[in-house]
Structure formats: structure tokens, C-alpha cells
Amino acid sequence: MKYLSTRDPAVSVTAAQAIVRGISAEGGLFLPESIPSVTPDELRELCALSYVERAERILAPYLSDFSAEELADCVRGAYGAQFAAKEIAPLAQLDENTHMLELFHGPTCAFKDMALQLLPRLLTVSAKKTGAGELVILVATSGDTGKAALEGFRDVPGTRVLVFYPSEGVSPMQRLQMVTQEGGNVGVCAVRGNFDDAQTGVKEIFTDGAVLAKLAERSLAFSSANSINWGRLAPQIAYYFSAYCDLVNIGSIRLGDKINFVVPTGNFGNILAAYYAREMGLPIGKLICASNQNRVLTDFLQSGTYNARRSFFTTISPSMDILISSNLERLLFLLSGKDTRRLADWMRSLRDNGEYTVPPLLRTKLQELFWAGSCGEEDTRAAITRTWRDNAYLCDPHTAVGVDVLRQYRAATGDTATAVVAATASPFKFVTPVLEALGYVPPAGDDEFSLAERLAAETAQPCPSGLLALRGKPVLFPSVCSKGDMRGALWSLPGGYVGARHDVPLPPRYFS
């Protein structure tokens, strides 16, 4: 399988090259030249398999330059004992025709682990194949990617990882997860600004000639762990197939029945993976795109105009606080007949004017595939309250946005087909809003861990051990920089400073 770029028709690379580079030199995103298909018979076979085996089958045609053995090693290593659920991505039933696909049982308690436990392994194999030197993984995070990347890449030989997060844009638990990160090849820095500032800064560093030259002098090269990297997206396709098979196995649907997926969306990575599953032949009716108060995607899918010039809201579902949704570029490329010129024009218009409009025909295609809805703060809280009261199911705020948008979809369309909501994070990562939605007013001054214990006691649900283990850990990364200083942070950040030799452990005092 060869990979194309969304912005340059001359680009053609292998999967390994696409994964190592992360983003194409001219700024386009890589994507496979064709979409492999899964026949109904193959789907039936998948139903008899474990999660690991399903993932191997789904990924194999995308990673045709990997040997079966290499792929098996990567996948088995990724989905092992570090997941708290042996099914890896189990379903939980909410009501008669609604199921939750729990993607948060990995080490950092968000769905990002589903990809970021696998990506470092794919990247290590890819780096060997392409002869890449040491890789610097630059990450912009809206909260969950950062920790999942740090955990996935910590002490992986031949890599260093540097994470930028918005100083005011993450939950206290998300921040604690990152600033206490251990490992000899990691760095973390807060950026004064929002996620879009961090993401734009990282994209600029990626293509800055002077920075690239300085890296090359030291035999270092950039790669990305954001969902702009195809190696982040591909692993996510597998769980849509897996959820479908599980529904067949428990008798909720028959093989061939169409189901709807609801995806709490920010950067459009997770829902794009669902689109790929649909194009591969998974019987999916609608892909329901759920946004929070930052409803740029809802407006786009409804109107055909993408307009990022609007107020940015900091919400209780911070991992979806995004106005520039990177992976939409891949979808538009596919739906516009792989027209690199038009894509480049739209992306230039987005950068220069903050907006672009797609032609009516393309808007119609989008609306056949997707239904979009958004959910404000009060409705998010109400959805947490309701699912707990009526279904005894505890949602985190991101998942609650999905649950509420599904309610809106059913009310608007009357389509009551079986639906699966992607449950993207553990409620214990967002204890304050979840406790408040349950009617508990946290006393001022209670720390995150007391609150987590309180939530566990109120709901008789266990707090994930990975979160409890953060209690008392020293803050190793207190640094905050401005947008303009991100390049500087690259060279000077404790632990993450890329000039350091990977195999020399830094003395603990270095961090203080």
C-alpha cells in the first residue's frame, strides 16, 4: 500500500515512511492510496477472533510493508496487560438499542491509548525500515494525547518525546498526569494559549527549515504522535469492527445489520477512523459527529462553510476544545475526488481568512454520511446526571456529549437503529464536573485524589489505579512558555531538550 499526500499529487511513500515523517513536507497529510475492503465472510470470521487478532487483520493491508511477524509483535505488545479490561475495548449496554464502546481502559484512561500504545511500536519498526535516525516526537495536546504519548514513548530507544499543552485548557488530573511524567526521554511544557495555538505552533516548528537543519546536524528528525500521523489513525479503525462483532456475538444485531456510531469529536481523528471502517465494508448507517460548545464541525457539516473565526470556549470536555480540526482535510480530500489543488486552496483560505466553503455537491455527500450535533455545558452536565440516574452508567463529560447528541439525532430523525457511542475517557479524569453533575458540591480545597475517592464512594465504581498512583508524585515539568517561545523550549526544556544523549539518565536535580 502506497500513501499519498492531500496537498501534493507527486507524493507517494510507503506506510513506514508515512509513519516516520508524520506529515508531508509541503504540509499535507498522508493517507492510503486506496481503501482495502472486508467482505461479509471476512467480517463473519472476525467475529470469532480476539481483539488482538481482529486488529491484526484490519491493519495488515494498510501496513503491507510490515511482515506478518512484525505486525503481530507490534499489536500483541500494544494490547496486553497494560489494559485493565481483558477485552481491551469492551461494550457496555446503556439501554435496549444503545451501547457504549469503552475505549478508556488503557494506562492513561482515555481512548488515545488505543492508538498510542501501538504507534511507538509501529514507529520503531518503521524507523528501522527507512533508516531514520533518532526521532523527536513533537506533540500538541488538548489533554489526553499528551499523556498517552508520554506513556507510549517513555524510554523507547531511538525516540524522545516533547509535549506542549495549553496552560489553561486541561483538567487538573490531565495536567498532573503530564507534569509528573517519568522517563529519560520525555519533556512537557505548558503554552500560554489554547489547543489551536499549541497545534499551530507545533505544525510551524515541523516545517521550519532552520529548526530542521539544526536537528539534522544532530542526526535527529521530527515525527508526530498527533492524529495527523496515519499511524495514529489506523489502529482506531480496528475497534469499530471489534464493536460490531461483539454486538453480533451477544445477539444484539445480526451480521449485516446497519448500526450507527456516535463519536465525541475534536480533531476529527476518531470519527475519520469510523468513516474508514464504513468504507472498508462495515455496515454503518450514519456517523454521528458530536461536538461540545465549540461547534465548528456542527456548523460546517450543516452549512458547508468551515468558519474558525469565532469565540473559543474552555469547556468541561477540554479534549474537544478545538476550532481547527486537522483530520477533516483527509475526508475532504477523499470526497472531492483527491483534488490536491482544491484542498491546498481551502487550507490556505483557512489559514489566511479563517474560513472556506465547500461546493453544494460535496456538502450533500457529507450530509449523507454524517449527522452533526453539539451539546453545550448545561446539557453535558444534564446528560451525565441522566445516564447515571436512568441507566446506572457513569459518563465522563466527553462521552456525555456523545450521549446527548445521540438523543438529539433520534429525536430529529426518528432513526432508532442500534447505536454505539464511543466512550472516550474515564470519568475519573474529570472528577469535579462529574461530581457536580451527580449533585455533590466539592468542598473548596479538596485535592483531585480526595475527589476521586469521593466519586468512587458515591458511585461504587473503582478509580483507575493509574490515576491514584499519581498522588504525591513530584512535579517534574513546571515550565510554561508563550506561543512564540515554543521553538526555544525545544532546545532548552529539561528532559526533553533534544540535544541530550538518550542513554545518559539525567540527574533528578536537573528537573527542579
Q: Which of 379, 446, 482, 407 is nearest to 164 (CA)?
A: 482
Asked if 134 interacts with ligand PLP (CB under 6 A), we say: no
Query: 267 Cβ partners below 8 Å, 6+ apart?
Result: 142, 226, 227, 322, 325, 326, 327
Q: Which of 112, 147, 203, 429 is catalytic?
A: 112
Write the interaction track for ligand PLP spanning residues 224-243; mark x where CB under 6 A is met and - where it is not: ---x----------------
Which part of the chain contacts ligand PLP (CB under 6 A), choosing from 48-56, 164-172, 180-188, 266-274?
A: 266-274
CA 255 to chain centre: 28
**What is the rounded CA–CA span in Å between residue 79 and residue 465?**
18
Q: Using CB under 6 A, which of 264, 373, 427, 494 touches ligand PLP?
A: 264
Q: Using CB under 6 A, which of 112, 278, 363, 454 touches ligand PLP?
A: 112
Q: Is 365 a catalytic residue?
A: no
CB of 110 to ligand PLP, least distance (A): 4
CB of 180 to ligand PLP, least distance (A): 19
Asked if 425 interacts with ligand PLP (CB under 6 A), we say: yes
Dihedrals phi, psi of 152, to nearest 5 degrees: -70, -35
**What is the rounded CA–CA span in Å between residue 384 and residue 429?**
14
- Amino acid at residue number 262: V
**What is the rounded CA–CA span in Å between residue 403 and residue 390?**
13
Q: Using CB under 6 A, which of 58, 110, 277, 394 touches ligand PLP?
A: 110
Asked if 424 interacts with ligand PLP (CB under 6 A), we say: yes
Choose between 421 and 489: whose C-beta lies nearer to ligand PLP: 421
Dihedrals phi, psi of 401, to nearest 5 degrees: -60, -45
Asked if 380 interacts with ligand PLP (CB under 6 A), we say: no
Dihedrals phi, psi of 144, to nearest 5 degrees: -95, -35
Choose between 126 and 267: whose C-beta lies nearer to ligand PLP: 267
For 14-85, where are the alpha helices, taking DSSP H only? 15-21, 40-47, 51-59, 68-78
At residue 275's C-alpha, the angle toward residues 274 and 278, to 5°, is 90
CB of 214 to ligand PLP, least distance (A): 30
Choose between 55 and 71: whose C-beta lies nearer to ligand PLP: 55
Count the residues of the shown chain that bind ligand PLP, applying the rule CB under 6 A: 16
Choose between 11 and 405: whose C-beta lies nearer to ligand PLP: 405
**What is the rounded CA–CA span in Å between residue 277 and residue 38?**
9
Left (φ > 0), alpha (ψ -120 to 50) or beta: where does 272 sit? alpha
CB of 329 to ligand PLP, least distance (A): 13
**What is the rounded CA–CA span in Å between residue 241 and residue 58?**
8
Asked if 433 interacts with ligand PLP (CB under 6 A), we say: no
Asked if 106 interacts with ligand PLP (CB under 6 A), we say: no
Asked if 320 interacts with ligand PLP (CB under 6 A), we say: yes
Choose between 14 and 141: whose C-beta lies nearer to ligand PLP: 141
| Active centre residues (catalytic) | 112
List interacting residues with ligand PLP (CB under 6 A): 110, 112, 144, 227, 264-270, 319-320, 398, 424-425
